[in-house]
Chain A
Amino acid sequence: MADVTITVDGVTLKVPAGTNVVDAARMAQIAIPVFCYHPRMKPVGMCRMCLVQIGTPKLDPATRQPLLDEAGKPIIAMMPKLQTACTTPVSEGMVIKTQSPEVKFAQRGVLEFLLTSHPLDCPVCDKGGECPLQNLTMEWGPASSRFDYTDKVHFEKPVPLGDLILLDRERCILCSRCVRFQDELADDPVLGFDHRGRNWMIISKSDPPFDSKFSGNTTDICPVGALTSSDFRFRARVWELNPIPAVCTLCPVGCNLTLDMRHERLMRVMPRENAAVNDIWLCDKGRYGHRFVEHESRLTTPLIRRGEQLVEASWDEALSLVAEKLEATRRARGGAAIAGLASPRLSNEDLYLFQKLFREQLESNNLDHLTGAPGEPAHDDLGALLGVGKDANLMDFGAGDAVLVLGADPEEEAPLYVLRLRSAVQRGAQLIVANLRPTKLERSATRAARYLPGGELAFIHGLLRELLTAGGRVTVKNSGFDDLKRVLNDTTGERLAERAGVAAETIAAVARAFGEARRLVIIYGAEARSAGPAVVEALGALLALSGKAGQPHSGLIALLPGGNSRGALDMGVRPDARPGYAPLVRPGLGARDLWPALREGQVRAVWIAGLDPAASMPTARTALAEAEFVVVQDLFLTSTAQLAHVVLPTTSVAEREGTYTNAERRVQRSRQARGPVGHSRPDWQIFAEVGHALSARAGKQTPRDDDAWDYLTAAEVAAEIAERVPGYASVTYGALAATGKPGAWGRQANEAIYYDGTNYENTEGVGIKLPAPVLTGAASINLAPRPVPVPAEERPLLLLSQPLAYGGDPLLRGSKLEQHVPAPYVALSGADAERRNIRSGDLVRLDSAAGSLTLPARVVHDVPPGVVLVPADLPGVELAAVQTGPRTRVHLVKLVV
Chain B
Amino acid sequence: MLGELFKGLGTTLRYIFKPPVTVQYPEVKRPVRERFRGRHELKRFADGKERCIGCSLCAAACPADAILVVPAENDPENPVSHGERYAAVYEINMLRCIFCGYCEDACPTNAIVLEHQYELSFYDRRASIYTKEMLLAPPDKGHGDPPPILRELQRRPSPPAQIDL
Q: Which residue numbers of A lie inside 8 Å of B, CB to CB?
A: 119-124, 128, 149-150, 152, 154-158, 233-237, 239-240
Contact = CB atoms under 8 A, between A and B. Distances in A.
Contact of B153 (A120, A124, A154): A154
Contacts of B161: 120-123
B71 A156 contact: no
B57 interface: yes
A154 B153 CA distance: 8
Contacts of B55: 123-124, 128, 237
A124 B53 CA distance: 7
B159 interface: yes
The residue among B55, B108, B154, B163 with the most chain A CB atoms within 10 A of its own CB is B55
Mostly, the A contact residues are: loop
Given A120-B160, A234-B71, A234-B73, A150 B85 contact: no
A124 B60 contact: no
A154 B147 CA distance: 14
20 contacts: A119-B158, A119-B160, A120-B160, A121-B161, A123-B57, A123-B158, A124-B83, A128-B55, A149-B163, A150-B149, A152-B149, A154-B157, A155-B155, A157-B155, A234-B71, A235-B71, A236-B56, A237-B56, A240-B56, A240-B59
Contact of A124 (B59, B84, B163): B84
A124 B156 contact: no
A156 B56 contact: no
Interface string B92-107: 0000000000000000
Contacts of B154: 156
B82 to A, nearest CB: 10
A120 B54 contact: no
A120 B161 CA distance: 6
Contacts of A119: 158, 160
Contact of A156 (B59, B73, B155): B155
Interface in B121-165: 149, 153-163
Contacts, number: 64
Contacts of B108: 123
Contact of A121 (B54, B70, B159): B159
A432 B17 CA distance: 104
B64 interface: no
A124 B51 CA distance: 13
Contact of B85 (A120, A124, A240): A124
A239 B60 contact: yes
A240 B149 CA distance: 31
A156 B83 CA distance: 11
Contact of B159 (A123, A149, A152, A240): A123
Contact of A236 (B53, B71, B163): B71
Given A121-B158, A123-B53, A240-B59, 19 more contacts: A119-B158, A121-B161, A122-B161, A123-B109, A124-B55, A124-B83, A124-B85, A149-B162, A149-B163, A154-B149, A156-B154, A156-B155, A156-B156, A234-B54, A235-B71, A236-B56, A237-B56, A240-B56, A240-B60
B32 interface: no
A234 B85 contact: yes
A836 B157 CA distance: 57
B84 A234 contact: yes
Contacts of A158: 84
Contacts of B57: 123
A150 B70 CA distance: 30
B13 interface: no
Lowest 10 A-B CB distances belong to which pairs?
Answer: A123-B55, A156-B155, A121-B158, A124-B85, A237-B56, A124-B158, A234-B71, A123-B108, A122-B161, A234-B73
A234 B72 contact: yes
Nearest to A237: B56
A167 to B, nearest CB: 13
Nearest to B84: A124
Nearest to B55: A123
A816 to B, nearest CB: 14
Interface string B51-83: 001111101100000000011110000000001
Nearest to A151: B149
The residue among B72, B108, B160 with the most chain A CB atoms within 10 A of its own CB is B160
Nearest to B153: A154
A236 B70 CA distance: 7
A334 to B, nearest CB: 57
Contacts of B59: 240
B61 to A, nearest CB: 11
Nearest to A144: B162
B131 to A, nearest CB: 16
Contacts of A233: 73
B160 A154 contact: no
A155 B156 CA distance: 9
Given A123-B161, A239-B60, A154 B54 contact: no
The residue among B83, B153, B162 with the most chain A CB atoms within 10 A of its own CB is B162
Contacts of B155: 154-157
A158 B83 CA distance: 11
A118 to B, nearest CB: 10
A149 B108 CA distance: 16
A625 to B, nearest CB: 45
A123 B161 CA distance: 6
B39 to A, nearest CB: 24
A680 to B, nearest CB: 25
B65 to A, nearest CB: 11
A633 to B, nearest CB: 34
B102 to A, nearest CB: 16
B162 A120 contact: yes
A496 to B, nearest CB: 61
A128 B157 CA distance: 17
A121 B156 contact: no
Contacts of B157: 154
Contacts of A155: 155
Nearest to B88: A234
The residue among A123, A152, A158, A233 with the most chain B CB atoms within 10 A of its own CB is A123
